[in-house]
Amino acid sequence: MNEPVISVANLSYRYGTFTAVDAISFQVQKGEIFAFLGPNGAGKSTVINVLITLLALQEGSVIVAGHDLQRDPAGVREAIGIVFQEITLDRDMTAWEILEFHGRLYALPKEERRKRIDELLALVELEGKRDAYVKELSGGMKRRLEIARGLMTRPKVLFLDEPTLGLDPQTRIRMWEYLRDVNREGTTIFLTTHYMDEADQLSNRISIIDHGRIIATGKPWELKNALGEDIIYLETADNDAAMQILDGDERVRSVRRTKRGLLAMVHGDGTQLLPALLDGIHDAGLKVTAVNLKKPSMDDVFVHFTGRELREEGPARHMVRRR
C-alpha cells in the first residue's frame, strides 16, 4: 500500500509576482482517495494544472505514476485521467462522440475504444443517453460523462478538480458512489474540493490548503482528533472572564473566541465535563446564556487550522439556547 503514485516536493507556482502555490510537498499513495480541501483562491486548481501538465513546472519536483513531470511530461499525460473544474464538453457533440474523440486523442485502438465506451456509459448510467447531445444532458449527467471520459484510458490516477461543484445534494452523493466504485477498481483519485463533507466522507486522506500552503495533512479522523475529543460552545455574560477560567482548567485543551461566544476543545468526554465546567464558571459569578456540545466536524478542523470559516458550506449549527 505504501507506494506513492503522486510525489510532490517543494512545488511553487507564481503568476507573475503573485505566489499562488508556495513550496508544497505531499504524497498520494496507490489506491487512495486524496483530497485538497481549501477555500476559493487557495491554489488548488493551480496545483492540479501543474500536475496535469497544463501549466509549466516552475519550481519543485513532481513524479506522477512513475514519470518525472520535468523530464517526461508525455509519460505523465498518458498515465492520467482528468476532470476539470469547469465543464469542458462540446455542447454540440453526443455523449458517444465525446468519448470517441477522447479515445482517439489518446490513440486507443478502435476495438478497445468501442468496448471501453460501452463499459463506461454503463458505469455512469448513461447508456440511454449515448446519442444525446451534451446540451440535452443535466448538470449531473455532464459531470458523469466527464468522469467516464477521464476513465477512458484506464488511468493510474484520476484528477478531479471540484467534481461536485454546483450539483444538488442527491447528485453529489451519487457522484461519490461512482468515485468510490472507480477507486475500488484500482484507480487512485486526487481531488480538490471546498466542501467539508466531501473531503470528510469521500477521501481517505486530506490536505488542508490555504494561501498556497498545506496547513495540515491526515486522515479525516486524525485531523478531528487533533482538536480534542469534544467541543463545547459557550456564551456568557462576560466572555473574557470565562475564557480565563477555561484556560486555567487542565481538562481544556484550548479555547478560542468566536463572534459571540467561546469554543473550548476538551480532552475528555464532553458530556461529563460540561456540567463541571459550567459549575466552575457559575461559581465565579458569571451567567451562562447559551451552551452547545458536539464532536469536532471538518468545519471545526478547518477553522482550527486556517483561523477562518468556510461559510458557504456545511450543515447549519444547531444551538441549544437557554433563556
Partner 1 sequence: MNTGFLTIYWRDMLRFVRFKTLLVSSLIQPALWMAFFGVAMSSSFDRLGAGIPPVPGVESVGYLTFMGAGVIAMTTLFTSLFGGIVLLFDKNWGLMREILASPLPRHHIIIGIGLSGMTKSFIQAIIIMIFGLLIGVEFFRNAGPLDIAVSVLGILLFVGIFSLGFLFLSATISISMESPEGLQGIITLMTMPIFFASNALYPTDAFPQIMRDLSAVNPLTHLITGIRYFAIGSDFTAIGIHVTSTPDDVVRSLLMLVVFAAGMFSIAWWRFSRAVVT
Report the interface residues with partner 1, using CB under 8 A. Answer: 45, 49, 52-56, 74, 77-78, 82, 84, 86-90, 92-93, 97, 101-102, 104-107, 149
The residue assigned the cell 494544472 is: 49
Looking from the CA of 30 toward its CB, the CA atoms found within 13 Å total 9
Number of residues engaging ligand ATP in binding (CB under 6 A): 13
54 binds, options ligand ATP, Mg ion, partner 1, none, Cβ within 5 to 8 A by partner type: partner 1
Task: Please tell me whether residue 153 binds ligand ATP under the rule CB under 6 A.
Answer: no
CB-based contact 242:262 (threshold 8 Å): yes
Task: Please tell me whether residue 107 binds ligand ATP under the rule CB under 6 A.
Answer: no
Q: Which is nearer to partner 1, 7 or 85 (CB)?
A: 85
| CA neighbor of 20 nearest in space, from 42, 50, 51 | 42
CA distance 20 to 312: 22
Indicate the SS3 state at residue 233. Answer: strand
53 binds, options ligand ATP, partner 1, Mg ion, none, Cβ within 5 to 8 A by partner type: partner 1
Cell numbers found for residue 199: 473531503
78 binds, options Mg ion, partner 1, ligand ATP, none, Cβ within 5 to 8 A by partner type: partner 1
CB-based contact 37:302 (threshold 8 Å): yes
CA distance 45 to 161: 7
Give the DSSP letter of residue 316. Answer: P
Crossing angle for the helix pair 139-151 and 95-105, to the nearest 10 degrees:
30
Amino acid at 141: M
Q: Tell me how far, at minimum, the Cβ of 29 lies from partner 1, in Å.
A: 23
Q: Which one among 67, 113, 156, 194 touches ligand ATP, defined by CB under 6 A?
A: 194
Task: Please tell me whether residue 45 binds Mg ion under the rule CB under 5 A.
Answer: yes
Which residues have a Cβ under 8 Å from the Cβ of 209 and sit 6 or more positions away? 24, 36, 37, 38, 42, 43, 44, 47, 215
Q: Which one among 46, 187, 236, 297 touches ligand ATP, defined by CB under 6 A?
A: 46
Q: Which is nearer to ligand ATP, 139 or 166 (CB)?
A: 166
Task: Please tell me whether residue 175 binds ligand ATP under the rule CB under 6 A.
Answer: no
Binding piece for ligand ATP, criterion CB under 6 A, among 13-21, 60-68, 69-77, 168-176? 13-21
CA distance 142 to 91: 10
Q: Which is nearer to partner 1, 1 or 107 (CB)?
A: 107
For residue 94, the tally of other CB atoms under 10 A from its CB is 17
Q: Tell me how far, at minimum, the Cβ of 133 lies from ligand ATP, in Å.
A: 28
Binding piece for ligand ATP, criterion CB under 6 A, among 41-49, 140-148, 252-260, 287-295? 41-49
Angle at 314 between CA 312 and CA 316, to 5 degrees: 95
Binding piece for ligand ATP, criterion CB under 6 A, among 42-50, 254-262, 288-296, 306-314? 42-50
Q: Which is nearer to ligand ATP, 18 or 170 (CB)?
A: 18
- Binding residues vs Mg ion (CB under 5 A): 44-45, 85
- Binding residues vs ligand ATP (CB under 6 A): 15, 18, 20, 38, 40-46, 85, 194
